[in-house]
Amino acid sequence: MRTGFIATYGKTDLASAPDDEVAVNTAYGTLLISASANPSHQDLYTFEFSSEPGNGDTTMFRVPHGFNYQPDGLAMIQFDDELGGGSFEGQFAILPLLQIGAGNTTFKYKITASYLEVYVTVSGGGALTLSGKSYVFKYIIFANSK
């Protein structure tokens, strides 16, 4: 017997539906999105490098999430012609991205108890030119956590 609130997709029987036919079941949770930035909604999150990070330097932007715990989340970056080579220009990839380009630049993100932070570390001589360039990110912050 099932208890709680259950809703299934389409005409699927509430009493006998397998789990993958259930739209919501209060016996378990779902991923709840509390914040996001999505280019599809003209809600871009851009980050511009104001100076050229030196070898070993880290620079970042951060988004406050408003929880007093570490929620889960994802971030994507859009390649320009320099980050991924001309063939990847305009395409998005989920972070972290390690060793991009000849300079071994890394784009990573982390979630602390206060922020989702996307940060960039340049190593290997800083072969990429980042100063004055803007990068577009998408991110999702869930309410869920470990």
Partner 1 sequence: MIGMRVAQRGSDAATSPDYKMAFSTSWPQLPILKKGQFVSDGTFQVIDNHGLGYVPAFMVFIDNATPDLATRIADGSENPNFGMDENSLAISSSLTAGAKGHYYIFALDIEKNFTAPILETGDAGKQQGRTESQGVRFTQDGKDAASKDLRDFSVHSNTRPWVIHKVSTGRKAVGGSQAIPIPHELGYAPFYLGFVKLDSGAFPSPRYQAINAATTDASVLSTPTQVTFTIGYVGSYSFIVLQDPLV
Which residues bind to partner 1, rule: CB under 8 A? Answer: 3-5, 7-11, 19-20, 22-34, 36, 38-41, 43, 70, 72, 74, 76, 78-79, 88, 90-99, 108-112, 117, 138, 140, 142-146
CA distance 121 to 75: 16
- The least distance separating partner 1 from the CB of residue 8, rounded to whole angstroms, comes to 7
Nearer to partner 1, 23 or 102 (CB): 23
- Rounded Cα distance between 82 and 130, Å, is 9
Task: Quote the least distance from Cβ 51 to partner 1, whole Å.
Answer: 21
| Contacts with 131 (C-beta within 8 Å, 6 or more apart), sequence order | 49, 50, 51, 52
CA–CA dist 134, 116 (Å, integer): 19
Q: How far apart are CA 30 and CA 6, in angstroms?
A: 13
Closer residue to partner 1 (CB): 127 or 140: 140
Q: Which is nearer to partner 1, 50 or 87 (CB)?
A: 87
In the complex, minimum distance from the CB of residue 113 to partner 1, in angstroms, rounded to a whole number? 9
